[in-house]
Amino acid sequence: MAKLIVILGDQLSPALAALRQVSTDDVILLAEVGSEASYVAHHKHKIILIFSAMRHFSTVLQQQGLQVCYLRFAEHSGIESMTDAVNYTLQQYPTLDGITVTHCGEYRLQQEINSWQQQFSLPLSILDDDRFICDAPRFAAWAKDKKQLRMEYFYRDMRRYTGLLMQGDTPEGGKWNYDAENRKACPADLEQIPPLRFAPDAITAEVVCLVEQHFPDNMGSSDNFCYAVTGKDARRAFLHFVQQQLPVFGDYQDAMLLNQPFIFHSLCSMYLNCGLLDVRWMCNKVQQAYQQGLVPLNAAEGFIRQLIGWREYVRGLYWLLMPDYKQRNGLQAKRDLPGFYWHGKTQMRCMQQAVQHTIEHAYSHHIQRLMITGNFALLAGLSVKQVTDWYLAVYADAYEWVELPNTLGMALFADGGVLASKPYAASGAYINRMSNYCKNCAYNVKHTTEADACPFNALYWDFLNRNQQQLAANPRLALPFANWHKRSDSDKAAILAKAAATLQQLEQL
């Protein structure tokens, strides 16, 4: 029996379940299709990364003596979707008698895949994606009968399950979580250690030309693409992070600095999420570095928590709650996304920096995403769909399974508290504490109602005021609401008037 093995653009892993029993009689399909490249306006770097990595992966498979049907973007008339690509390949190889694919990362595409058996009248085998540590049944079993699905308790379960940073049943160092030690502001004069960069090779150069031809108006510039596109280079990039950046990553992982987009972050989420890196290998390397005394515990634990905690948790939540989860809008946020999310032209220095980093690198780190662009969207009541589509489009590591819960649930609190125990709403004071942006801003972070007031300040109080019915009972918001209610009526009126004026002129901020 010879089968068609379909490999998706985020499944570029030699150990992928669908490739384990591959034979030289099988045909492996990789396809650059229009529907996947354009369902949102993906950043140019994201398209370059995925298409180039796919082409490199195809070369490796062919070097192993395997049959590969590789369909390049726009080179075959009528192939716009993965279904079209499968149909074309089956016509080219009529003796194939089955289709094998690994479960994909997006509900939308999985529904399309589910239709293939009936559409093509061939047996369809959909294999679990065991590149993840926690499969859907395990997550569902963990979530069953719980009133709250908090990541921290899931993370502890994953620590016990994997044995990472454990001494028997006890967490290394006696505590599960060292996040309190990872919130230091970064001194502006601290020497930065940038992530490893890679010059585009001939294959990547071809893809750059393709992207400039077919996606000229998408965010970003192709000229500065410098990311790894092979597993070998992705591993080099990650080992550079472990050896050079991780020792100080923990202390400053929440910090932000003017014109410093990376601050000891690895950028390896984009490699992990498309399959160039393996999560178990990464965690083991970090654990080994800690055990060898090369990195402190708060850095090792903080990084491992991001992988086996947050990453596995949001994937489990996504598949547990989709498709209804995507429609949630608990705070009825409907205001249009301002243009500066796309062009970065705003006097708010923090927003300008976060968006400009995104434009230049298809990247900004988690605090910029949560507490700058996400926080502003939350406070301003921006459309949940427009915001989630933006995050999905502009970041090279964004796939719906990871982007949607992080944005809809954590940044926008649109799920009503399924993911987060409280909204991550903050005034300019938080941004001032964790960055040097405010010292270089046209707005005054200490002002709320004055002409030069930081927009985050009045919008913060307005957010609490307009959402009192949904949020007042949240115990974690008791102090902010108490502080709001202590204010005089005239003070409240001035703040709400300032917020209303700010919301009326978002495009001019």
What DSSP element (H or E) covers 434? helix 428-434
What is the chain's mean pLDDT, rounded?
A: 94
pLDDT category of residue 261 using cuts at 50, 70 and 90: confident
pLDDT value at residue 186: 67
Q: How many residues does the chain have?
A: 509
Query: Is residue 245 pLDDT above 90, yes or no?
Result: no
pLDDT value at residue 370: 92
DSSP state of 70: E
> Are the beta carbons of 260 and 192 closer than 8 angstroms?
yes
In tens, the pLDDT along 150-199 reads 999 999 999 999 999 999 999 999 999 887 766 777 677 777 788 899 99
pLDDT value at residue 197: 93
Residue with tokens 């959909």: 126
41-45, 104-108, 179-183, 226-230: least confident range = 179-183
Q: 3-class secondary structure for 157-185?
A: HHHHHHCCCEECCEEHHHCCCCHHHCCCC
Largest CA distance in the chain: 79
d(CA 312, CA 18): 21
pLDDT category of residue 222 using cuts at 50, 70 and 90: very high
**Among candidate residues 165, 164, 162, 161, the one with its CA nearest the CA of residue 173:** 165
Residue with tokens 């019915």: 469
pLDDT value at residue 190: 76
Angle subtended at Cα 222 by Cα 240 and Cα 393, rounded to the nearest 5 degrees: 85
| C-alpha 309 chain-centroid distance | 14
Query: And the tokens for 61?
Result: 């498979």
In tens, the pLDDT along 350-372 reads 999 999 999 999 999 888 999 99
What DSSP element (H or E) covers 127? strand 124-127
CA atoms lying within 13 Å on the CB side of residue 171: 16
C-beta neighbour count of 378 within 10 angstroms: 27
What DSSP element (H or E) covers 30? strand 27-31
**What would the mean pLDDT of 407-432 be, rounded to a whole number?**
95
d(CA 307, CA 501): 41
Residue with tokens 């400009």: 356
Between β-strands 99-102 and 170-171, what pairing exists: parallel, antiparallel or unpaired?
unpaired
**What would the mean pLDDT of 432-446 be, rounded to a whole number?**
93
Check residues 245 and 98 and name the one with the higher pLDDT: 98
Query: Is residue 93 pLDDT above 90, yes or no?
Result: yes
Please name every residue paired with 4 in a beta bridge, in sequence order, or none if there are none: 27, 99
What per-residue string of b and e applies to 212-244 under the rule 16 or more CB within 10 Å gives b?
A: eeebeebbbebeebebbbbbebbbebbebbbee
Residue 61 neighbours by CB under 8 Å, 6+ apart = 28, 68
pLDDT category of residue 475 using cuts at 50, 70 and 90: very high
Residue with tokens 């150990």: 15
Residue 113 neighbours by CB under 8 Å, 6+ apart = 6, 82, 101, 104, 124, 126
pLDDT category of residue 285 using cuts at 50, 70 and 90: very high
The pTM of this model reads: 0.95
Query: And the tokens for 240?
Result: 């550079």
Structural domains in the chain, sorted by start: 4-127 (3.40.50.620), 136-195+245-321 (1.25.40.80), 340-508 (1.10.579.10)
Task: Measure the CA dihedral 84/395/315/14, to 10°.
Answer: 60
